[in-house]
Structure 1
């Protein structure tokens, strides 16, 4: 079984095309799957859209009554996945804003079934493409990639900040056994980097697959506070260097 985690905040417009694309990809490749939508206190019709799609695909909806932030939505979803995954199951995390192509899931699943324990959809591999992302964000992401590769090298990893990942149930449970709920305890989008930095102590087999990031398909404003994310990232680097 493949569990697909979608942390969602005000994604009423992007969720329907994304869910349709996931359903098509999963059914075309005959993959058993379930989607976990964590509605993070959305003020629009995100929850209603997820409920409507339950009529045609397997979706579990978890609601936060108020907006708690991206990291808390990720934590809620991963904790739920931890509790229900079987021995050979796979957990995929991806953005709910339709910038990550579900067509890549099959490639990630194959890598995991071949022995990888973490698979990252990477912007820094041959055949990767980034479409529609502002230049300043591209430069910041690439700079962060270089810094993390120098300070916290993980074999096979170039993209530390990508949230589009696949985890084997084994490594996910092992990570929660070691860290408990604190596996996800950093604020904002920096939580994805922190998860990877923690998992590296478990000596996982990590591979990357090329990502085509379609930021041009995003509707509405970005949920990311660029300045806040930069500060959170530098704070994370400082704490990890000091092993705090």
Structure 2
């Protein structure tokens, strides 16, 4: 089973089209799948849009009336996917954004790379890819903000949240944390933090070059370069991505 995990906040204008595109890709891929959406206290028509699509898609919606933010929403989705995974060595959780920046067309690449033996597949965006100015600056300065954490990372872009995880790896991380919150940072930094926690349990981590779609999103970017870099800077000095034996 493939669990497609999407945290959303006020994405009524794009989430329906995104879900339908996921359906198209997964039907062509011919794999069993379920879409898990966390509606993070949306104040627009997101809830109504999701309700309509629940009737025609394998879609489960988790609603939070209190704003969680990206990191807590992501963690809750991954915990839910892991709980549902009946075959954790085969089942996969894929995370992507709800604003259409992450193109569902790349789902096939992520799934097939996992099926080829990888435990984690990270979508990676080149620094030269054009985008909104705050995104461009944040991406450009992220390696500096992370320092050695970025240099040691097993992928060229540890900030990207478009990833596929084998469920058994997530299960090991959650067991190790013993019920404590996994993520202590927000935004892009949470993606780096998650990769740092997962890497010791993954026998093989691969990356897939992906190109984001800024032309399909129907709202301005919510990324602000300075807060993003401030969160990334908090991760400097973390002892991640050093060689350790896989248990």
TM-score normalised by length of structure 1: 0.89
Identify the residue that residue 186 of structure 1 maps to in structure 2.
185
Distance 2:26 2:128 in 1: 23
TM-aligned CA distance change 1:60 to 1:129, over 3 Å: farther
Map of 1:72 onto structure 2: 72
Q: Post-superposition shift, 1:204?
A: 3.6
In structure 1, the partner of 2:118 is 116
Q: CA separation of 1:216/1:27 partners in 2, compared to 1, >3 Å: closer, same or farther? A: same
Deviation at 1:187, TM superposition (A): 2.8
**C-alpha deviation, 1:116, in angstroms:** 0.4
Taking a change above 3 Å as real, the CA distance of residues 222 and 134 of structure 1, as seen in their structure-2 partners, is closer
Q: 1:102 maps to which residue?
A: 104
Deviations along 1:113-168, one digit per CA (max 9) or x if unpaired, are 111010011113xxx9835x12452243133246657435133x101100100000
Aligned counterparts, 1:24-173, within 5 A = 24-87=24-87, 88-124=90-126, 130-131=129-130, 133-145=131-143, 148=146, 150-152=148-150, 153-155=152-154, 157-173=155-171
- How far 1:191 moved relative to its partner? 1.0
Mark the CA change 1:148 to 1:231 in structure 2 (over 3 Å): closer, same or farther: closer
Match in the other structure for 1:216? 215
Structure 2 Cα separation of the partners of residues 103 and 149 of structure 1: 32
Q: Check 1:136–1:7 CA distance in 2 against 1; reply closer, same or farther (3 A cut).
A: closer
Partners of 1:181 and 1:92 in 2: CA distance: 22
Structure 2: where are the runs of 5+ without partners?
241-247
Query: 2: distance between equivalents of 1:85 and 1:230?
Result: 35
Alpha-carbon spacing, 1:130–1:114, altered in 2? closer, same or farther (3 Å):
same
Q: 1:38 Cα deviation (Å)?
A: 0.1
- Helix, strand or coil for the counterpart of 1:13? helix
Task: Name the Cα RMSD after superposition.
Answer: 2.1
1:199 alignment counterpart = 198
Contact 1:74 1:184 survives alignment (8 Å): no
The Cα of 1:237 is off from its aligned counterpart by: 1.8
Instruction: Check whether the contact 2:99–2:217 (CA below 8 A) recurs between aligned residues.
Output: yes
Any unmatched runs of 5+ in structure 1? none
